[in-house]
Amino acid sequence: MLDKATLRKADIFSGAVVFLLGLWIVGQAFRMPMKDSFGGVMNVWYVSPALLPLFIGGILMLLGFMLSRTGLKTVGSAELKNTLQWLGSRRLLWFLTSDGSMRFYAASILFLTLVFLNLPRIDFFVSAVFFLFPFITMFYFYDDFLLKKLLALYAMGAAAFILYFSLGIDAVAASLVPFGADMLAICFLIIYGVYAWKWIRRDPSRRRKYRIAITMAILAPFFIGAIFKYFLMVPMPKEGLIVAVLDYLWYLEF
């Protein structure tokens, strides 16, 4: 467990981040109308939709300031100066490239790409496997060297998908090939699986973990997703290739 001084130094910077987040929320809230006319009726300021984000942003700014102030009072300005010097030294680079940081990067990239890149644009079932299979293989082998290799491949794939969608290639491909993004994601999953197998194929214990990773990555989303889709009648965030195939099977639309 970290000592109190280290935690208080972290509070200074985390408080600053919270303060800036609150400031950004307040700035966005001021872009909302404080009062306006709707249907000939003038609304007053105290029913403005900006009040809630203004309140939340103001509270975050206050709490962030208090957290930073408490941390600074505990460690003193000298320790803060030492920390700032550390942030400008080579030790920061070593920390950013350490194994612990790589694990943090891996988890962050996987969750961010799932929520903001894959789920809104790729079939739900493909997106779920696209998340679970890399996630399990990166962490289940307990090998930081292998994690870096797999993370590098996944990051290159994520960058390719960002370009694919941001440049509008998906719209062009959709007019030529149905479910183009889904098939592209499946192709990448196959490449990822072959690449991971190349690194673990000589180790029997890792081969067993690899089989477990594939099984869990496929069965979990199909079991849970099918329950929500066909029993609870909850639409998936994005319904593409796999949902179309399951619809044919479920409703016997042959």
Whole-structure pTM value: 0.74
Residues composing the chain: 254
* CA quadruple 73, 78, 79, 80: dihedral, nearest 10: 80
The mean pLDDT of the chain is 87
Note the pLDDT tens digit of each residue in 188-238: 999 999 999 999 999 999 999 999 999 999 999 999 999 999 988 888 889
Q: Examine the pLDDT at 54 and tell me if it is beyond 80.
A: yes
Dihedral (CA of 93, 99, 100, 102) sign: positive
User: Where are the domains positioned within the chain?
Assistant: 4-90, 99-251
What is the tens place of the pLDDT at every residue in 240-252? 999 999 998 888 8
Per-residue pLDDT averaged across 121-129, rounded? Answer: 96
Where does the pLDDT of residue 34 fall: very low under 50, low under 70, confident under 90, or very high at 90 and above? Answer: low
- pLDDT recorded at residue 1: 45
The answer on pLDDT for 82 being more than 80 is no
3-state helix, strand, coil in the chain (%, to 5): 80, 0, 20
Burial environment of residue 128 by CB neighbours within 10 A (0 to 12, 13 to 18, 19 or more): buried
Q: Model confidence over 97-121: pLDDT tens digits?
A: 888 889 989 999 999 999 999 999 9
| Residue 121 backbone dihedrals phi, psi, to 5 degrees | -125, -20
